[in-house]
C-alpha cells in the first residue's frame, strides 16, 4: 500500500458536553475505496465535517497528502482537491443540470477575471459526458430542483466528478435511493475510482454496498474507533456486531 | 429558439422608446427620466436580492454616497467646500460652462468609483450576516449615513447643498439629464445581460440556491459576493451623481438617503416584476412607476396607503412577480424545462440501473 492520502491523527471533537469524536486516528490509502461504518450517532458525519473543514477540531491533526489541513476553511480544502457530498442531497435547485455542472468546475487556480469567463466548448462537453455517465443526459436541461431525490443524488455525484477531486468523501451515497438504482450507483462509484483515479472515502449504512466496494473499513462506535480491517474481517468481528446490536 | 429571436428585437425596441419618448411626450420628460432611474434601482437591487439571494435594504447608501461625492468633487475643484456650503444660501456662486461640465463629468465618475470602493468596505463586514440579519445590517448602514451627513457641517448638514446651476435653458437641461439616465439604464441592462451569461451569473445563482454547497465545491464565494456588491454600488453611485445634478439641490434625508421611499421602491419594483430575472426589474419598474405616478396624482394624501397595500398584495399573493409568473406559465418560451410529474419512478430507474443508455 502506498502513502496514505488522508491521515487523521488523534482527532477529538465535542459539542458542548457531547463528545462526538474521541481521539480518532485513521488513514485513507491513495487510490482505494475506504469505508466508514458505525451505528447512528457514532460520529461518522462529525469526522467527515472535521476533515473537510466544516468546523474546527478540538485537538489532533488532519493531513491531506502530507499537508496539515485542520486549520483551513472549507473552500480552501475543496480547492486542494478534497471534496464531499452531503447526506441530504445538495444541488442548486433553480438552475438546470448543465448549469449545475458548469459552476462545479475546479476553482483551484481561479483568478479575478475567471469570474467573468464563459465556459463553452470543452467544458460543456465534459459536463454532458459526465451527465451521461450518471445517466442524466436526457434530463440535462431540466431544473435540478424538479428532479427526484435519487436523480439529485446522481447529479450531486456528477458535480463532484466535474470538480476533478483527488479524494471524494461520500456521506451515505445510497441512503434514500431506490433499491433498484443502487447497483448502478455502486458500479459508477467503482468506475469513478478506477477510471478517474479518485480516492473514495465512504460513509455507508448499507452493509451489502460497503462490503462489496471497500478495500478497508473503519468502524466507529460512541465516537471512538472500534476496529478496522478488510471487509471480511469486519463482518466477522464480534465487537462490530455488538456495537450495531447495542450489546455492551 | 423563440426567445433567442425575440431578444435583440426587445433591446432595439427599448432603445427606440428611450430616444423617442421625450419627443412624443415632452411634458413628461422628467417623469420618464425618473423612470429610467427607477430601472437602474431595480436592476442593481436584483443583482444581490434576486440573482444572489441577499436581500439588501441599504442599497440607497451607495446612491447617496455617489451623489455627495460628486457634489463635493464638483464644488471642490473650484471652491472651498465648507465656504461654499455656508455661503450658498446668501450668495449666488457661478460656474462657467467648462467648469460645470468638467466638474460634472469628473464628479460623476468619482461618485461611481468611490461608491464602489465603499462597497468593498461595507461588503467585508455585512456579508458575515445572512437572511434577515443581512437586510437589517445593510439598512443600518443607510440610516446611519443619513444621520451622519445630516450633522456634517462641511457638506451643508441637514440643509443640504445647492449644486452648480446647469449652464443652459431648462429644455436642454431636461433632455441632458433624461438621456444620461436613459443611457445609464440601457448600458446597465446590456452589461447585466452579459454578466449573467458568464460564470459570474452561475456563481451568484449557486450562492442563492445553496451557499454552503457552493463553499463546499471550492467556489470563491466571498469574492463573488463582494464583486456583486461593488458592481451594484458603482452603478448606483453614477445614478446618484446624475440625479443629484438633475434636481440641483441635495440633502441627506429625502434626496440622498431616502430609506423609506427610493430604498423601499427598489425592493418593491423587483418583487413586482419578478426577482432573479433580467427583465423582471425593468417590467416591475415600469409598472410600479405608472402606479406611483397615478396614485401620487389622483390619491394624494393616500399614496402611502396605496403603496402599503401594494406591498401587502405582492408579498402575500404574488411573490413570483410578473415575469416570474409568465415564466411559470410558459416555461418553454424561456428555455426552462421542468421535470414532468412522475408518480411511478420504479420503471425508469430500473432501466437506468441495468441498461446503459436505456434511461428514456
Nearest CA in chain B to A187: B353
pLDDT digits (tens, 9 = 90+) for A109-161: 777 777 787 767 888 999 999 999 998 999 888 899 999 888 898 899 999 99
Residue B349 inside a domain? The answer is: no
Containing domain of residue B132, as a range?
3-334
CB contact A52 to B (< 8 Å): yes
CB contact A178 to B (< 8 Å): yes
What residues in B contact A180, CB-CB < 8 Å?
346, 349-350, 353
Q: Which of A84, A110, A138 sits opposite B359 (nearest CB)?
A: A138
Alpha-carbon gap, residue A139 to A162, rounded angstroms: 17
Alpha-carbon gap, residue B331 to B85, rounded angstroms: 55
Residue B179 inside a domain? The answer is: yes
Alpha-carbon gap, residue B210 to B243, rounded angstroms: 37
The pTM score is 0.88
Question: Are the C-beta atoms of B348 and B359 separated by less than 8 Å?
Answer: yes
Task: Report residues of chain B scoring pLDDT below 70.
Answer: 1-6, 88-90, 339-360
Q: Which of A102, A119, A181 sits opposite B353 (nearest CB)?
A: A181
CB contact under 8 A, A74 and B215: yes
CB contact under 8 A, B206 and A92: yes
Residue B357 inside a domain? The answer is: no
What residues in B contact A104, CB-CB < 8 Å?
217
Percent of residues, chain A, with pLDDT higher than 70: 98
Residue B358 inside a domain? The answer is: no
pLDDT at B346: 41
pLDDT at B351: 38
CB contact under 8 A, B219 and A75: yes
- With bands split at pLDDT 50, 70 and 90, how would you rate the model's confidence at A242? confident
First to last CA, chain A: 34
Comparing CA positions, the residue from A13, A4, A47 lying closest to residue A169 is: A47
CB contact A153 to B (< 8 Å): no
CB contact under 8 A, A137 and B338: no
Mean pLDDT, chain A, as a whole number?
A: 88
Residue B154 inside a domain? The answer is: yes
The alpha carbon of residue A17 is apart from the nearest alpha carbon of chain B, in Å, by 26
Residues 78-117 of A with CB under 8 A from B: 78-79, 83-84, 86, 90-96, 99-100, 102-104, 106-108, 110, 112, 114-117
Q: Please give the C-alpha separations between residue B262 and each of B26, B171, B279, in angstroms, as whole numbers.
A: 24, 26, 20
Q: What is the CATH number of the domain that holds B307?
A: 1.10.3470
Angle at alpha carbon of residue A114, lines to A111 and A119, rounded to 5°: 150
CB contact under 8 A, B217 and A90: no
| Alpha helices (H) in chain B, listed in sequence order | 2-24, 29-46, 60-76, 81-87, 97-126, 131-150, 170-195, 199-216, 221-247, 262-273, 280-298, 303-317, 321-329, 346-354
Question: Are the C-beta atoms of B229 and B125 separated by less than 8 Å?
Answer: no
Domain total of chain B? 1
Residue B119 inside a domain? The answer is: yes
pLDDT at B97: 87
Residue B351 inside a domain? The answer is: no
pLDDT at A41: 86
Alpha-carbon gap, residue A224 to B321, rounded angstroms: 53
Amino acid at each position: 500500500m502506498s502513502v496514505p492520502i488522508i491521515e487523521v491523527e488523534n482527532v477529538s471533537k465535542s459539542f458542548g458536553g457531547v463528545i462526538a469524536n474521541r481521539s480518532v486516528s485513521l488513514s485513507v490509502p491513495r487510490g482505494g475505496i475506504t469505508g466508514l461504518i458505525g451505528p447512528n450517532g457514532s460520529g461518522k458525519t462529525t469526522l467527515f465535517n472535521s476533515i473537510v473543514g466544516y468546523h474546527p477540531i478540538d485537538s489532533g491533526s488532519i493531513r491531506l497528502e502530507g499537508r496539515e489541513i485542520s486549520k483551513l476553511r472549507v473552500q480552501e480544502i475543496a480547492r486542494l482537491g478534497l471534496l464531499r457530498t452531503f447526506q441530504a442531497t445538495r444541488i442548486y435547485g433553480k438552475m438546470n443540470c448543465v448549469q449545475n455542472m458548469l459552476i462545479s468546475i475546479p476553482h483551484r487556480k481561479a483568478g479575478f477575471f475567471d469570474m467573468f469567463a464563459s465556459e463553452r466548448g470543452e467544458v460543456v462537453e465534459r459536463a454532458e459526458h459526465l451527465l451521461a455517465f450518471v445517466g442524466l443526459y436526457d434530463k440535462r436541461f431540466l431544473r435540478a430542483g424538479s428532479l427526484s431525490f435519487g436523480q439529485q443524488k446522481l447529479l450531486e455525484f456528477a458535480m463532484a466528478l466535474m470538480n476533478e477531486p483527488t479524494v471524494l468523501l461520500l456521506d451515505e451515497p445510497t441512503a434514500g435511493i431506490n433499491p433498484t438504482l443502487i447497483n448502478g450507483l455502486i458500479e459508477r462509484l467503482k468506475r469513478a475510482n478506477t477510471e478517474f483515479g479518485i480516492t473514495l472515502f465512504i460513509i455507508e449504512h448499507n452493509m451489502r454496498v460497503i462490503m462489496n466496494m471497500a478495500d478497508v473499513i473503519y468502524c466507529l462506535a460512541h465516537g471512538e474507533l472500534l476496529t478496522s480491517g478488510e471487509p471480511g474481517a469486519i463482518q466477522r468481528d464480534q465487537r462490530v456486531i455488538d456495537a450495531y446490536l447495542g450489546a455492551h | 429558439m423563440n426567445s433567442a429571436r425575440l431578444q435583440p428585437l426587445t433591446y432595439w425596441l427599448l432603445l427606440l422608446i428611450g430616444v423617442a419618448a421625450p419627443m412624443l411626450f415632452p411634458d413628461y420628460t422628467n417623469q420618464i427620466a425618473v423612470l429610467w432611474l427607477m430601472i437602474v434601482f431595480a436592476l442593481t437591487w436584483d443583482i444581490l436580492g434576486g440573482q444572489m439571494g441577499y436581500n439588501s435594504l441599504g442599497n440607497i447608501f451607495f446612491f447617496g454616497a455617489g451623489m455627495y461625492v460628486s457634489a463635493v468633487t464638483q464644488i471642490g475643484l473650484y471652491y472651498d467646500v465648507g465656504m461654499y456650503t455656508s455661503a450658498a444660501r446668501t450668495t449666488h456662486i457661478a460656474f462657467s460652462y467648462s467648469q460645470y461640465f468638467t466638474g460634472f463629468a469628473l464628479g460623476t465618475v468619482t461618485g461611481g468609483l468611490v461608491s464602489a470602493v465603499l462597497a468593498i468596505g461595507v461588503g467585508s463586514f455585512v456579508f458575515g450576516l445572512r437572511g434577515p440579519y443581512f437586510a437589517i445590517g445593510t439598512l443600518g448602514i443607510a440610516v446611519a449615513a443619513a444621520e451622519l451627513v445630516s450633522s456634517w457641517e462641511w457638506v451643508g448638514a441637514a440643509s443640504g447643498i445647492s449644486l452648480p446651476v446647469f449652464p443652459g435653458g431648462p429644455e436642454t437641461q431636461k433632455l441632458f439629464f433624461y438621456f444620461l439616465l436613459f443611457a445609464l439604464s440601457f448600458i446597465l441592462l446590456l452589461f447585466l445581460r452579459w454578466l449573467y451569461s458568464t460564470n459570474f451569473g452561475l456563481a451568484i445563482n449557486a450562492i442563492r440556491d445553496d451557499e454552503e454547497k457552493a463553499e463546499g465545491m471550492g467556489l470563491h464565494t466571498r469574492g463573488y459576493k463582494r464583486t456583486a456588491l461593488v458592481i451594484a454600488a458603482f452603478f448606483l453611485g453614477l445614478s446618484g451623481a446624475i440625479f443629484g445634478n438633475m434636481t440641483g439641490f441635495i440633502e441627506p434625508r429625502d434626496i440622498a438617503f431616502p430609506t423609506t421611499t427610493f430604498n423601499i421602491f427598489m425592493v418593491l419594483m423587483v418583487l413586482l416584476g419578478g426577482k432573479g430575472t433580467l427583465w423582471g426589474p425593468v417590467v416591475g419598474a415600469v409598472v410600479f412607476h405608472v402606479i406611483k405616478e397615478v396614485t401620487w396624482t389622483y390619491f394624494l394624501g393616500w399614496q402611502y396607503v396605496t403603496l402599503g397595500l401594494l406591498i401587502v398584495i405582492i408579498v402575500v399573493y404574488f411573490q413570483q412577480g410578473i415575469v416570474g409568473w409568465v415564466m411559470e406559465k410558459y416555461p418553454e418560451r424561456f428555455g426552462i424545462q421542468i421535470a414532468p410529474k412522475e408518480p411511478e419512478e420504479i420503471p425508469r430507474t430500473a432501466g437506468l440501473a441495468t441498461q446503459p443508455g436505456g434511461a428514456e
